[in-house]
């Protein structure tokens, strides 16, 4: 079937996206996508509402998350797919990240206060009370206070890596993240490998026991696709893809801008179904 397109990378209001899980599924349908995984940062909260919506629309949905990890000072995002949504291992890991983020956000707010830009912690939760809070929420609160005029500016001047109000927080290693995903019988994929700053980190990651890499990404040029696809093929890894849709906070990344075919989607869907039957 040639018109099969499944977007395996997007963010909802449960992390730093601007559409609810329900809205994302409706949008996916309206764009004639044929499958989806919602990969919020460090949370699977989206699935609480997404599963019943997807079921009622008979829309194929695979469990997913994008976990934040660090390898030798370099931030690495790891996509996890196909784990059971009942997995205690994944739930505990998300809880650990939630606590990590609470402490980290407080440190960033302290730094902003020291730089004359006080923000109340409650201001961060105003629009999305159930979300995992990250730097984009801090950027939006800074705009609301009038300290800066755009999200880009917030990252560029204050909260981007290496800037005066940046703090990495407690670090979770790539190895631990891989171990957790595999214990939960999920598949671990290197997210947007072209965005990883440090070349030696990429080399190290390619020697680790990942199950695949994200070879198709919204803003890849054709030759970038080709490079990562070849690397994955040589390793006999899965090649996943998606848009990294975040809604209006990243308007250049529309849902469905990148996708996988039915063959890849079926591998992940089968994995998910077998894990749902016997959760780890």
Positions that interact with ligand AMP (CB under 6 A): 16, 41, 68, 134-136, 151-152, 155, 160, 246
Binding letters toward Zn ion, positions 41-80, x by CB under 5 A: -------------------------x--------------
**DSSP state, residue 194:** G
CB of 145 to Zn ion, least distance (A): 26
Contacts of 203 (CB under 8 A, 6+ apart): none
Between the CA atoms of 98, 100, 102 and 104, what dihedral angle is there, to the nearest 10 degrees?
-140
CB of 247 to ligand AMP, least distance (A): 11
The three-state secondary structure class of 241 is strand
Q: Which of 5, 71, 77, 104 lies at the binding interface for Fe ion (CB under 5 A)?
A: 77
Interactions with Fe ion, residue window 145-204 (CB under 5 A): 191
Token pair belonging to 56: 């009622």
Q: Which of 7, 16, 40, 214 lies at the binding interface for Fe ion (CB under 5 A)?
A: 16
Interactions with Zn ion, residue window 184-213 (CB under 5 A): none
d(C-alpha 83, C-alpha 80), whole Å: 8
The site for Fe ion, by CB under 5 A, has a size of 3
Nearer to ligand AMP, 7 or 16 (CB): 16
Strand 74-81 relative to strand 187-190, pairing = antiparallel
d(C-alpha 174, C-alpha 25), whole Å: 30
CB atoms within 10 A of CB 181: 27
Residue 244 engages Zn ion in binding (rule: CB under 5 A)? yes
Quick one: what does residue 68 bind among Zn ion, ligand AMP, Fe ion, none, with the CB cut-off 5 to 8 Å set by partner type? Answer: ligand AMP
SS3 content of the chain, % helix, strand, coil (to 5): 45, 15, 40
- Which residues in this chain contact Fe ion in the complex, by CB under 5 A? 16, 77, 191
């Amino acid at each position: 079937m040639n018109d099969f397109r499944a977007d395996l990378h997007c963010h909802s209001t449960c992390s730093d996206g601007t559409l609810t899980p329900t809205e994302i599924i409706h949008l996916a349908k309206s764009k004639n996508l044929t499958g989806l995984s919602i990969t919020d940062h460090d949370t699977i909260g989206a699935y609480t509402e997404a599963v019943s919506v997807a079921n009622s629309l008979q829309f194929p949905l695979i469990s997913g998350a994008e976990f934040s990890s660090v390898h030798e000072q370099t931030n690495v995002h790891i996509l996890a797919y196909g784990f059971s949504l009942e997995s205690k291992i994944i739930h505990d890991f998300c809880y650990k990240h939630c606590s990590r983020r609470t402490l980290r956000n407080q440190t960033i707010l302290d730094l902003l206060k020291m730089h004359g830009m006080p923000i109340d912690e409650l201001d961060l939760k105003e629009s999305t009370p159930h979300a995992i809070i990250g730097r984009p929420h801090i950027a939006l609160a800074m705009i609301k206070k009038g300290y800066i005029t755009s999200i880009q500016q917030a990252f560029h001047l204050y909260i981007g890596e290496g800037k005066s109000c940046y703090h990495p927080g407690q670090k979770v290693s790539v190895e631990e993240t891989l171990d957790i995903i595999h214990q939960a019988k999920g598949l671990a994929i290197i997210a947007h490998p072209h965005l990883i700053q440090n070349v030696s980190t990429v080399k190290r990651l390619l020697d680790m026991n990942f199950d695949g890499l994200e070879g198709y990404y919204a803003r890849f040029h054709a030759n970038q696709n080709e490079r990562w696809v070849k690397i994955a093929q040589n390793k006999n890894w899965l090649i996943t893809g998606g848009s990294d849709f975040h809604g209006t906070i990243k308007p250049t990344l529309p849902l469905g801008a990148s996708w996988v075919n039915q063959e890849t989607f079926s591998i992940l869907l089968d994995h998910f179904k077998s894990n749902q039957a016997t959760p780890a």
